[in-house]
Copies of this chain bind each other. A is one copy, B any other.
């Protein structure tokens, strides 16, 4: 069978099918095994959180984007920044503390890349490190056909703050930390789609920045975690995230599409280009906002729906909103 027929999610299901018996050793426990946004091991009193995420040229980004960004320096800095920020996002979604965070950086570098480019990439990484107090503790440099950035991050979490995908309970409100769809809008611009529309540079820049500089919500996540039952980061679009929560929690959900936060820039862009802002939010990916459920009313965040016993329903003004499942993103498909 070809990967294309199976798709990413079914492949992961197959790979996780043979569950491993967690190591049993005095003082060491597996609190969250492989399969969530990150895993958690407890070593005596320390609960360590581990996750890894890779970025590949021509899959996650293109080196041709230098033109849209005004040069290679900006592009490589953004790639460095993003590769680490998206990993920290997985720590956030587990309710991780903001300190300490450690990372390992593996890269594959094609010959066409200049030494200067690599230094810019590491500058981008360093920016995240300085801003959030992250320490680099290892790495690996290799030649490769396409630019590849493989990051692993390690953090710590209070046991009571661990927010797994599987913790959602019927009756919980579903919250989002910020506007969705911006990143997919930015990607569309970078890919040169909708060229005919007269675009406004400030809208372009805002959306492109949202694609390349995902939010790092580790401080917010800590506050959220003590009140949330479940948390995930919105890396593959809202629909995929809601599916994953409901699948892991064995629940349903009802989403009010009119409550999904959309930025005014994305709304303006979709008007200008005759595309749907809501589609970007639902099917697009890489927003890296946090989606969480709680039985508390949290007015700082956007409540977009509720966890139910079963079935996933999207509604607009009380009427069913039909989801086009073939529009959701997954690798290989």
Q: How far is the CB of A48 from chain B (nearest CB, A)?
A: 7
Closest to A39 in B: B137
Q: Which A146-162 residues sit within 8 Å CB-CB of chain B?
A: 146, 148, 150, 152, 154, 156
Asked if B108 and A56 sit within 8 Å, CB to CB, the answer is yes
User: How far is B154's CA from A60's CA once the two chains are assembled, in angstroms?
Assistant: 27
Asked if A142 and B59 sit within 8 Å, CB to CB, the answer is yes
Judged by a CB distance under 8 angstroms, whether A133 is at the interface is: yes
Asked if A144 and B138 sit within 8 Å, CB to CB, the answer is no
Closest to A331 in B: B143
Residues of A within 8 A of B (CB): 1-6, 8, 11-12, 14-15, 18, 20, 22-23, 25, 27-28, 30, 33-34, 38-39, 41, 43-46, 48, 50-54, 56-60, 99-100, 102, 104-106, 108-109, 111, 113-116, 118-119, 122, 126, 129, 133, 135-146, 148, 150, 152, 154, 156, 331-332
Asked if A136 and B20 sit within 8 Å, CB to CB, the answer is yes
Residues of B within 8 Å of A118, CB to CB, are 3, 11, 15
Q: How far is the CB of A38 from chain B (nearest CB, A)?
A: 7
User: How far is B41's CA from A48's CA once the two chains are assembled, in angstroms?
Assistant: 12
Asked if B1 and A116 sit within 8 Å, CB to CB, the answer is yes
Residues of B within 8 Å of A136, CB to CB, are 20, 34
Asked if A150 and B54 sit within 8 Å, CB to CB, the answer is yes
Q: How far is the CB of A244 from chain B (nearest CB, A)?
A: 14
Task: List, sorted by A's number, 8 A–B pairs whose CB atoms are closer than 8 Å.
Answer: A1-B115, A3-B143, A23-B135, A30-B137, A54-B140, A59-B143, A150-B150, A154-B154
Residues of B within 8 Å of A46, CB to CB, are 27, 43-44, 46
Asked if A148 and B108 sit within 8 Å, CB to CB, the answer is yes
User: How far is B5's CA from A111's CA once the two chains are assembled, in angstroms?
Assistant: 10
Q: Given contacts A108-B148, A145-B146, are A100 and B3 in contact (CB under 8 A)?
A: no
User: How far is B108's CA from A8's CA once the two chains are assembled, in angstroms?
Assistant: 11
Asked if A51 and B104 sit within 8 Å, CB to CB, the answer is yes
Q: How far is the CB of A250 from chain B (nearest CB, A)?
A: 23
Q: Given contacts A11-B118, A145-B58, are A138 and B52 in contact (CB under 8 A)?
A: yes
Residue from B5, B15, B111, B141 in contact with A11 in the complex, judged by beta carbons closer than 8 Å = B141
Asked if B50 and A138 sit within 8 Å, CB to CB, the answer is yes
Output the residue of A2, A27, A129 with the most chain B CB within 10 A.
A2
Q: How far is the CB of A218 from chain B (nearest CB, A)?
A: 14
User: How far is B142's CA from A6's CA once the two chains are assembled, in angstroms?
Assistant: 13
Residue from B3, B20, B34, B60 in contact with A113 in the complex, judged by beta carbons closer than 8 Å = B3
